[in-house]
Structure 1
């Protein structure tokens, strides 16, 4: 089952409609009241992340499900004004990003950085900058987004698994601490981010 697609932006347009689609989706999926609240909370966190993106940002939102697997999906064109583009470019080149304080903030930064960097910053600079704020942890095969997708892909679940395998290494402990503190990370079974040129996809997956 897939809901209607709703166009949302970082000024809040379309978000009420998107949440209504989530409510209808929960009814169709026959979710309990408690699970409906969990799904809505994940959707609200996704909307909050969209609201925090700088510049003019629009995305197509929908929910889809198969059996007990529920997904909240964003598909966005990455567009940014020149001033903010220069700002983010400077941050990427310096390797500094003071804005990312939360787990969802870092996912937002993956999107923001690509608005300026897919054509302006070399890949090695991005790897050390704000495109992959968790370093190499969580990077995965682009085929995870399906046949035909060719771009950078990151998975929260893969990052979690890698952090567990790394044991007590400082970076692994930092990642585990961030996951523990994040409401979204505790509720969702996976979050995947795919970047392809000036297109981005974000999927929050929850199995009920």
Structure 2
């Protein structure tokens, strides 16, 4: 089942509609109170990172479910405020590998979205071979245009190293509740998919 599609911007009313849509989907699938709370928590984590991303994009949100398996979909389309100058600035921050603001998993997911919004196809060749978190989560994704960033792949790589990346994962709400998070390009949109099965 696919929920209604919510169009949203950075105002609080349109973002709170995403949480309402998530709870409606949980109700239709007869999730219990604890399961509904966990699904809402995942939606809240998504909503928490959206205001900054919406400075230069428009968004849509919907929930897909089959039984007790859920996917929270967020699609972002770059708008006219994404100028070449803004692309250059974002790319400079993104590819430095030293972005201090990218602390925690949600910040890393947000950075992956930003990188794709600034033109993944054109800029992927500019990534350094050892590009911090990003290269450790890239996976071929037939459902997207080419590749996607995957929390599960990132988690597997971090588990091998057991370093600060693993510590970040252990402290992250989304990493502890979600089964998978994918960030990829679908047509002219960047899509974030958070998967959870109960």
- TM, length-normalised to structure 2: 0.86
- Secondary structure of 2:59's partner? strand
- Secondary structure of 2:49's partner? helix
Corresponding residue for residue 76 of structure 1: 76
* Structure 2 portions without partners, runs of 5+: none
- Secondary structure of 2:167's partner? helix
Asked if structure 2 preserves the Cα contact closer than 8 Å seen for 1:75 and 1:199, the reply is yes
Does structure 1 residue 185 correspond to structure 2 residue 175? yes
Asked if structure 2 preserves the Cα contact closer than 8 Å seen for 1:60 and 1:75, the reply is yes
Corresponding residue for residue 141 of structure 1: 140
Asked if structure 2 preserves the Cα contact closer than 8 Å seen for 1:6 and 1:62, the reply is yes
Corresponding residue for residue 40 of structure 1: 40
Counterpart CA distance in 2 for 1:93 and 1:35 is: 38
Counterpart CA distance in 2 for 1:181 and 1:98 is: 18
Counterpart CA distance in 2 for 1:124 and 1:69 is: 37
Does structure 1 residue 157 correspond to structure 2 residue 152? yes
Asked if structure 2 preserves the Cα contact closer than 8 Å seen for 1:92 and 1:125, the reply is no
1:81/1:26 CA distance change after superposition, 3 Å? same
Counterpart CA distance in 2 for 1:86 and 1:162 is: 29
Q: CA deviation at 1:70?
A: 1.0
Asked if structure 1 preserves the Cα contact closer than 8 Å seen for 2:112 and 2:149, the reply is no
Corresponding residue for residue 111 of structure 1: 113
Asked if structure 2 preserves the Cα contact closer than 8 Å seen for 1:12 and 1:51, the reply is no
Counterpart CA distance in 2 for 1:93 and 1:173 is: 22
* Structure 1 portions without partners, runs of 5+: none
- TM, length-normalised to structure 1: 0.82
Deviates more, 1:186-195 or 1:46-55: 46-55
- Secondary structure of 1:31's partner? coil
Counterpart CA distance in 2 for 1:86 and 1:135 is: 18
Does structure 1 residue 200 correspond to structure 2 residue 195? no
1:32/1:99 CA distance change after superposition, 3 Å? same
1:30/1:54 CA distance change after superposition, 3 Å? closer
Deviation digits for residues 121-151 of structure 1, max 9, x if unmatched? 351426655xxx51432221212x3xxx322
Size of the aligned set, in residue pairs, is 196
